[in-house]
Amino acid sequence: MTREELKAAAVSMLDMAYCPYSHFPVGAALECSDGTVYTGCNIENAGYSPTLCAERNAAGKAISEGHKDFVRIAVAGRCDDFCVPCGVCRQFLLEFAPDMEVICLNSKGEELALPLKELLPYGFDNTYLPKEN
């Protein structure tokens, strides 16, 4: 899939978002090293905290299908600002692919692309954990 196709896949997921509380739809398209793409949208909940972000939705779909080797993710919103992943999603993605690229889109389709490590400097990974536990 080309970069433009990946971005379009993220944008198309905006229509799938379930966001009756925030009215802030988010779409994501996650590309794996073998070229497989998994999409996701945000899914909100009346309990608020169970809300699932689009990025973790896409990543969960990928992981559950055996793909953890993420190369890049496109994230789309319907706002003027670039739709950046929240801190939880940055940390979630770091676990699997610290070197991946994050492509943040605004409503005009313009992009802000950054390495995940720049979006989450000093992220917590398993090197901080004791070797035996």
Size of the site for ligand THU (CB under 6 A): 13
Least Å distance, CB 131 to ligand THU, is: 32
Query: Measured between alpha carbons, how far is 30 from 22 in angstroms, rounded to an integer?
Result: 23
Pairing state between β 70-77 and 101-105:
parallel
Which residues, in sequence order, are CB contacts of 12 under 8 Å at separation 6+? 27, 39
Beta strands in 88-130 (DSSP E): 101-105, 111-115
Contact string (CB under 6 A) for ligand THU, positions 21-60, x = contact:
-x-x-x---------------x-x------x-xxx-----
Radius of gyration, CA atoms only, the chain: 14
Give the residue, chosen from 86, 99, 124, 125, that forms a contact with ligand THU under the rule CB under 6 A: 86
Q: Given the complex with ligand THU, which of 116 and 133 has the nearer CB atom?
A: 116
What does the binding site for ligand THU look like in residue numbers (CB under 6 A)? 19, 22, 24, 26, 42, 44, 51, 53-55, 85-86, 89
